[in-house]
Amino acid sequence: MIGSLLYLTASRTDILFSVCLCARFQAYPKETHLHDVKRIFKYLAYTPSLGLWYPRNSSFDLHTYSDADFGGYKVDRKSTSGTCQFLGNMLISWFSKKQNSVALSTTEAEYIAAGSCCAQVIWMKQQLLDYGIIFEKVPIKCDNTSAICLGKNPVDHSRTKHIDIRYHFIKGNIERNDVELVIVPTKDQIADIFTKPLDEQSFPRFRMELGLCEID
């Protein structure tokens, strides 16, 4: 059941977080986990015509969203990273993933998520370069001011020296004008849908902003 749902997340981005969360319990599933998976199938049964829409007249600017849910996974208190990349209004890449280590602050969790998003952006820029399309200063939209300041500040402060060095490569990409960290209000942070459960007002709004709509 999980395998089928994971396959479906290639077009149904709205269930990505829920499916990935259930997938963490595949080794030792309980009856409650089976009940949750059946709820996902029930949601899909009520929304069979939802799909990603790619409009013909969309612009072609590359921009991304990055977010993290600090300590949201109650089992081991690890944070969940979520990012999505757009070409204009068209969603072209997304992921939801539990971070490898326990973050000690919201800043660290958001910074790690931004680093993962940056790596994806650099790969995408290289792919688009083969088609003669060049992007400068691709915006990574983050709702944490401290994480943005950390990315722009070339000095490693004592309070952040514990962050793994491999995540600091984002600084080099900012200095080379490959990407830039941009603040976005939390209410407009689309990547929230990949990091945590949302209320019934926010979920349909973010789902629509991802490009999911009724397709006849």
The 10s digit of each residue's pLDDT in 43-76 is 999 999 999 989 888 888 999 999 999 988 888 8
CA 29 – CA 23 distance, rounded (Å)? 9
Question: Could you tell me the strand order of the sheet in which 62-69 lies?
Answer: 90-98, 80-87, 62-69, 138-142, 179-183
pTM of the shown model:
0.90
In the chain, list all ranges with CATH 3.30.420.10.
62-190
Query: What is the pLDDT, as a whole number, of residue 160?
Result: 64
- Tell me if residue 92 falls in helix, strand or coil: strand
pLDDT of residue 171: 83
CATH no. for 62-190: 3.30.420.10
Quick check: 154 pLDDT over 60? no
pLDDT > 90? residue 80:
yes
